[in-house]
Structure 1
Amino acid sequence: MTRYGRDEPYEVFEIEDFPLACGRTLRPARIAYRTYGELNAARDNAIVYPTWYSGRHWDNEWLIGEGMALDPDRWFVIVPNMLGNGLSSSPSNAPSPDGGPSFPPIRVADNVEAQYRLVTERFGISTLPLVLGWSMGAGQTYQWAVSHPETVQRMLPFCGSPRTAPHNRVFLDSLRAALTASVGFDGGRYRTPPEAGLRAFARIYAGWGFSQAFYWDEVWREMGHTSLEDFAVGFWEAFFLDDRDPNNLLTMLDTWWHGDVGATPGFTSTEQALASIRATAIVMPAEKDLYFPPEDEAWAVSHMRSGTELRVIPGVWGHFAGGGANPVDTAFVDAAVAELLARPSGI
């Protein structure tokens, strides 16, 4: 039986000199990743499944397993950790002069280029049957299909977008303000993480991650919480107090804020970048997602190739419909992955 979890070992791919979109260079860039399954002799069974905002590779494991669409007995699933998440190169682990608040700005395209080098240089892979991801992982999925259309055969972004919307940026600005205004933040040069700022950060997140209906129906009781305050402290505050460095959070927040496939070199607009995607795609927003509402992804699909499917995840779980938080939504996402893998390749 394959063992998963945060205590299991992972690997690191190091790029000696990695130029970034901002003009700076990481020396080196370190991409932490874990793989599930075995790469076949033809090197044509690899799937890339990037992490999300503050998530680590083990947080993606809910969608990987025996009998699921991402079955390691068939597929070689690569889960690369985002730059800034504390495992890959991040403010919390970068050597001088790039550590702490001096860490360079990271863009979605930087993550994808590092992952592309991992896939091609470490494993010798030239085509990917599927790239998929949740939230910021969905943003990376779109970027993969735009930056490397010759590589990505299928794509399934769920609960995420190719461009960060203005309302989403308002949310991100409030998170940034909560951390940077906290007592003890000290311009990012804190000796210990400012707990008050992290708790405020979590409280803002609590109003966005799940839908209004989720709270009205007290669905948090299904997660084992006994009151609204118990949920806010036991789920949200505990989440962001669990080894999540504020400078790391701010780096990934900045990546999210600037997300836009239209910024890819060679394109002049988001619409043009979306039209260039060749991959067979199912785009899956959640019905009541406050970050990435279905109408935003309907707009994206309207600019993609004919036959691209918009499939909405129904229910009240909001953004976390795509986070593996409940078995009904997990089954819905898993079924879509299986169906997409059975469809003809877009390239």
Structure 2
Amino acid sequence: MAAEFVQDYETFALGDFPLQHGETLAGATLAYKTYGELNADKSNAIVYPTWYSGFHWDNEWLIGEDMALDPRKYFIVVPNMLGNGLSSSPSNTPPPHDRANFPKVTFYDQVEAQHRLVAGHFGIQTLQLVTGWSMGAGQTYQWAVSHPGMVLRAAPFCGSSKTSEHNIVFLEGVKAALTGGDGFRGGFYDTKPEDNLRRTGRVYAGWGFSQAFFWDRVYTDMGHSHRLGADLAFPTLEDFLVQYWEGHFLDRRDVNDLLSMLWTWQHGDVGRTPGFDGDHVAALRSITAKLIAMPGLKDLYFPPEDEEYASQFIADGEVRVIPGVWGHFAGSGDNAVDRRWIDGVLRELLAS
């Protein structure tokens, strides 16, 4: 059930890749794209991981010659998460790890795979910055805990170092939409269960944006999306639900891939990094990077309070709240005001 993709990326062979929960993913590969050139002393690298259901091109809105992530100055590596359909995933892995048999992957596993690429393949020992949105923020925190001597700066936006119980409950709703109905067949479907993907879009629609976003009917004129390369305007609420939300999940997304990434997300916790015995606070205290967390003011599942709690345990930690009504999708790249705000914080952080 592998989706069709344009090959504008490279793949790194991980070989037989051992996972934190004991399984080995045979013949694993990591898909990635780079922007800019690595300098002679390999000191200009940035890692910018992908998010839930996202691909490397969905991150490109934050990269540009007029932006903080300037490819003329930095070597920017965008690794695709294991499970996203480009790197090793349920949809592209042969038996015995195909489809619903794909093994469980943690944030720790994601970062270890990326570390093999960054340090092992490119020979990079210092990262000027790790940044990312949503699950990309979870990977940012994991990088800062797993490799503190390597990460100089970190900027997780609209994400967390530990998935909250409220967030887990939200994802249970997504999981129910993905696995319901006769077409799912326990994850061993031969035909893409489109109804499941449509339902998933409907569930997500109530969480991605804030109540104020809908009160103001912002969806009728969302402006130009750099991420999608289009003006976003939906005359009715139903148009928004069908075109923006159902359309997103129907476009090249696979149900088993989404379930794999959902498991990773639900089990997110830097305290589960080897050596911390589940102690989330101890893991946060180990971070040496200068870290600015950027939660969205009205994010319904990564609220600012969670990051303000975590930040107190990070020696050089700070929280900057993204203002406005876009909620979680303040970090999506779809809103010009939020794009400029996030870029401004990254510019300041990189200058520090």
TM-score (norm 1): 0.96
1:118 deviates by 0.2
Matched, 1:27 2:29: no
Quick one: percent identity of the two aligned structures? 62
Distance in 1 between the 2:321 and 2:310 partners?
13
Q: Deviations over 1:261-294 (max 9, x none)?
A: 0000111311110010000111100000011000
Counterpart of 2:336 in structure 1 is 327
Structure 2 partner of 1:277: 287
- Report the residue type matching 1:303 in the other structure: F
What's the CA shift for 1:182?
Answer: 2.1
Q: Identify the residue that residue 341 of structure 1 maps to in structure 2.
A: 350
2:225 is aligned to none
CA offset digits 1:233-275 (Å, max 9, x no partner): 0100000000100000000000000000000011131111001
Code of the aligned partner of 1:99: D
Q: Which residue of 2 aligns with 1:290?
A: 300
CA distance in 2: counterparts of 1:249 and 1:225, whole angstroms: 26
Computed over aligned residues only, the root mean square deviation of the Cα atoms, in angstroms, reads: 0.9
1:233 partner amino acid: V
| Structure 1: runs of 5+ lacking an equivalent | 1-5
Secondary structure, in 3 states, of the residue corresponding to 1:157? strand
Asked whether the equivalents of residues 10 and 33 of structure 1 are also in contact (C-alpha less than 8 Å), the reply is yes
| Residue 262 of structure 1: aligned partner | 271
Provide the residue aligned with 2:251 in structure 1.
Answer: 242
Aligned mate of 2:325, from 312, 316, 322: 316
Per the alignment, residue 121 of structure 1 pairs with 120
Q: Secondary structure at the match of 2:127?
A: coil
SS in 2 for 1:174: helix
Aligned to 1:3: none
- Residue from 294, 299, 309 that aligns with 1:299: 309
Alignment of 1:86-235 (within 5 A): 86-222=85-221, 223-235=232-244
Cα deviations across residues 73-121 of structure 1 (Å, max 9, x unaligned)? 0000000000000000000000111000000011001000000000011
Cα 1:74–1:8 change in 2 (3 A) is farther
Distance in structure 1 (CA, Å) of the matches to 2:201 and 2:122: 38
Separation in structure 2 between the aligned mates of residue 126 and residue 158 of structure 1, nearest angstrom: 24
Once the two structures are superposed, residues 166-219 of structure 1 have per-residue CA deviations (whole angstroms, 9 ceiling, x without a partner) of: 000001111111121222100001111111111111100000000000000000
Instruction: Please give the alpha-carbon distance, in whole angstroms, between the structure 2 residues aligned to 1:56 and 1:179.
Output: 19
Quick one: distance in 2 between partners of 1:182 and 1:339? 49
Cα distance in 1 for residues equivalent to 2:189 and 2:72: 45
CA drift at 1:8: 6.1
Report deviation, 1:123.
0.4
| Higher mean displacement: 155-164 or 195-204 | 195-204
1:51: Cα distance to partner?
A: 0.2
Moved segments of 4+, more than 3 Å = none
Q: In the alignment, does 2:63 pair up with 1:57?
A: no
TM-score, with structure 2 as normaliser: 0.95
